[in-house]
A and B are shown apart, each in its own frame.
Chain A
Amino acid sequence: MSRTEKLMPMSDAIDRYVADGDVLYLGGFIQQDPFAAAHEIIRQGRKDLTVSKCASLILVDQMIGAGVVSRLITSFTWNPLPAQAHCFVRALTRQVPHKIDMEEYSILALNLAYFAGALNLPYVATKTMLGSGFDWEQTDFGVKNRLKFETSPFTGERVCLVPPIKHDVGIMQVQRCDPYGNAQAWGMMGEVRYGLQSCEKLIICAEEIVDTDVITRDPNRTLVPAFRVNAVVKEPWGSHPAPMAGYYDMDWPYNAYYEKETRTEDQFQNFLEKWVYGIRDRKAYLKLIKQDRLDALIPERFDSDPVPYGKLTSHFGVPYA
């Protein structure tokens, strides 16, 4: 059996699979944000992207500030300190660096939109978002023309119809992946499963590249199978400053640093120069962070116990004569 290895450097993966104007899904529900990939997208100067990210923290803020985003599909965007995400606020209140279109949902509604996209459903009906500012019948703004409010043909009750969202390409940072793209992740998964499944192409960035044997010994943990994946990038610490379950904690002080260093547009440009444009790749980024900071984020080991899947090599037990 010949199989295609998809390992490549981050720069090649972004160059080949992310194009100007794409609808781009970014996985990771607060944990496992694909920072390394996002920085490479900024460095390569992509533009006019629709970025779709359920939980948007400072990663999406940086992409907005760098001018690569023209439309944002999200449920929230902030710095978890909590503090405002400055570039996001500048874009929405002052169109700096340019205007972005917003398509906002609640977390559950966005999960349903990704689910509908993944399964190629025409829509999903729900009882959330009724009566809110997103309910266009009342307020005529928000995600108008995206959500519909109708009467259920089954129960006669008022329901919110959520449309499918599909993506050209999706990117996710996971704990481990084999060279072919069988990707395994654990930790809080938010919208990730159907977010990834609603993408045409996928780039998987992994802390570790493992043999397929490691995957098949624990297939319950697989998020996407190889046949859905186009590129695999080995990128240790690729989610910093976001956390990666079992590998590193959130770099909390970085959120405070970011808040302080991006309050003005000029400050943000300096930030971008230092952390994105001024360096070639993730290795150089990690040198900027410095090893003692990274060491301080590595958690004490806390492992699950192995589970028996059972190896079966023959058919039938003892016949009932």
Chain B
Amino acid sequence: MANSPVILGCRMLETKGPVTRVEQMIVSAARLIQDKSVLMVGTQWPIIVSLLAKALHAPEITICYEGGAIIEKVPDRIPFFTGDPVVNSSSVLIGDSFDTLGAVLHGGRADMALLSAASVDRYGNINTTCVGDYRSPKIRFGGSGGACDFGSLAPKTTIVLEHDKKRFPEMVDFITTPGNLKGKDNRRESGLRPNTGPHAVVTTLGLFNFDKEGEMVLTAYNPTASVREVKDAVQWDLKTHKDVGPLDPPSEKELEVLRVQIDPGGMYLREARLLKKSEVVI
């Protein structure tokens, strides 16, 4: 019987140690964020990516969460998800979803959206709904949340997820969040606004962008991986950019800020928030 509360993680002062693929993914995604931009930020990886950018090269970004929070500073503790109550005392505006998904995103005032995903396909469509038939799914995920809104309405949707071949099918079973749909003009034909849609995918194996056909193209790979490894880790014949090369590894500064300032408890970097190692008994 554990009567005392579980203490989550411990402060990690160790800044040395090899760069993990997750750290490379977070740093590479953060570099895509331009200072002074207005970001719609989804739950999980986008939280740490956007806060790292704010602490480094993009101090004047405005971070918007789907529940109605607008944030200008790095919160006192890293939010575990966008509804984390630490957001109540770290924001410049706390309102409702109409303030962020409505006035900012649907209103056309967002510059970029950051999303996590269960799986992404060849045309940047995201599935966070189900595997198999929708009416009798084999596997069921949580559902859209604000993701469909981000992908439908944001000018540059950037998707951040751990790379796993299972998560990169040629076509997702369910389009929770529209990317380029079936490619070419299909997105426009569906009625989605011009100048919206997927911009980049950042994974533990590399960075991907989209060509004129709306298809995902490998732009750069994790320096510990190779073009071959990435091509083998998707379920279709992946296109590669003519100038494909390795991603720049994190600088000392980037790594230090990430490990010491943004996530000292290893909540994301070492998955401490999942409490896998703790005995949770009540």
Give every chain A residue within 8 A of B129 (Cβ-Cβ). Answer: 104, 133
Query: Quick check: B106 and A108 within 8 Å, CB to CB?
Result: yes
| Contact for A141 among B80, B128, B135, B282, CB less than 8 A | B135
Q: Are B81 and A80 in contact (CB under 8 A)?
A: yes
Interface string of A67-88 (1 = CB under 8 A from B): 0000000111110111111001
Interface string of B131-166 (1 = CB under 8 A from A): 000111111111111111100110000000000000
CB < 8 Å neighbour of B175 from A108, A131, A256: A131
Partner of B68 from the list A80, A132, A188, A243 (CB cut-off 8 Å) is A188
Instruction: Select A292's contact among B3, B152, B275, beta carbons within 8 Å.
Output: B3
CB-contact partner of A190 in B5, B68, B144, B282, under 8 A: B68
Q: Are A89 and B94 in contact (CB under 8 A)?
A: no
- Chain B residues near A22: list those with CB within 8 A: none
Sample of 20 further A-B pairs with CB below 8 A, known A109-B149, A132-B175: A29-B67, A30-B83, A31-B85, A54-B97, A92-B130, A107-B146, A111-B101, A115-B98, A127-B106, A128-B106, A128-B148, A131-B186, A132-B144, A132-B176, A133-B176, A186-B88, A187-B85, A187-B94, A252-B275, A260-B280
Known: A76-B144, A188-B83. A130 touches B191 (CB 8 A): yes
Cβ of A77 and Cβ of B143 under 8 Å apart? yes
Instruction: State whether B94 touches A189 (Cβ < 8 A).
Output: yes
Whether the pair B5, A292 counts as a contact (CB closer than 8 A) is: yes
A131 contact from B97, B174, B192, Cβ within 8 A: B192
A104-136 CB mask vs B (1 if < 8 Å, else 0) is: 111111010001000000000011111111110
What 1/0 mask marks residues of chain A from 86 to 100 whose CB sits below 8 Å from any chain B CB? 001100110000000
A186-B187 Cα distance, complex, nearest whole Å: 39
Give the B interface residue count (CB, 8 A): 69
Q: Are A85 and B142 closer than 8 Å at their CB atoms? A: yes
Known: A75-B144, A193-B96. A132 touches B178 (CB 8 A): yes
Interface, chain B (partner A; CB < 8 A): 3-6, 8, 43-44, 65-69, 80-81, 83-85, 87-89, 94-98, 101-102, 105-106, 128-130, 134-149, 152-153, 174-178, 181, 186-187, 190-193, 273-275, 278, 280-282
Q: Please, how many angstroms separate the alpha-carbon atoms of A42 and B140 in the complex? A: 24
Question: A76 is contacted by which of B142, B153, B175, B178 (Cβ under 8 Å)?
Answer: B142
B96: shortest Cβ distance to chain A, in Å?
A: 4
Assess whether B96 is in contact with A243, with CB atoms less than 8 Å apart: no
A77 to B145, CA, bound (A): 9
Annotate A271-314 by CB proximity to B: 1 below 8 A, 0 otherwise.
00000000000000000111011001101001000000000000
Q: How far is the CB of B85 from chain A (nearest CB, A)?
A: 4
Q: Could you tell me if A142 and B146 are in contact, using CB atoms closer than 8 angstroms?
A: no
Query: CA separation between A115 and B97, bound complex, in Å?
Result: 12
Residues of B within 8 A of A253 (CB): 5-6, 275, 278, 280
Contact B68 A189, beta carbon cutoff 8 Å: yes
Complex: A242 Cα to B269 Cα, angstroms: 25
Top 10 closest A-B pairs, CB basis? A158-B191, A30-B83, A131-B190, A78-B142, A106-B148, A243-B85, A296-B5, A189-B96, A76-B143, A131-B178
Question: When chains A and B are docked, how far (Å) is the Cα of A106 from the Cα of B97?
Answer: 11
Residues of A within 8 A of B176 (CB): 132-133
Q: A297 to B86, alpha carbons, bound, how many Å?
A: 12
* Nearest CB of A to B182, in Å: 9
Q: How far, in angstroms, from A191 to B145 measured CA to CA in the complex?
A: 12
Q: How near does chain B come to A235, taking the closest CB pair, in angstroms?
A: 19
Q: Give the distance to chain B from A53, nearest Cβ to Cβ, in Å.
A: 12
Please state if B191 and A108 are interface contacts (CB–CB under 8 Å).
no
Question: A210 an interface residue at 8 Å Cβ cutoff?
Answer: no
Q: Is A250 an interface residue (CB 8 A)?
A: yes
Interface string of A185-214 (1 = CB under 8 A from B): 011111111000000000000000000000
11 contacts between A and B (CB under 8 A): A29-B96, A76-B142, A78-B142, A106-B145, A111-B101, A127-B153, A128-B152, A187-B94, A188-B65, A244-B85, A288-B282
Which among A76, A188, A191 has the greatest number of chain B C-beta atoms within 10 A? Answer: A188
Q: Which residues of A contact B142 (CB under 8 A)?
A: 76-78, 82, 84-85
Contact B88 A289 (CB under 8 A): no
Query: Is A257 on the interface with B (CB-CB < 8 A)?
Result: yes
Q: Given known contacts A92-B140, A107-B146, A130-B192, is B85 in contact with A245 (CB within 8 Å)?
A: yes
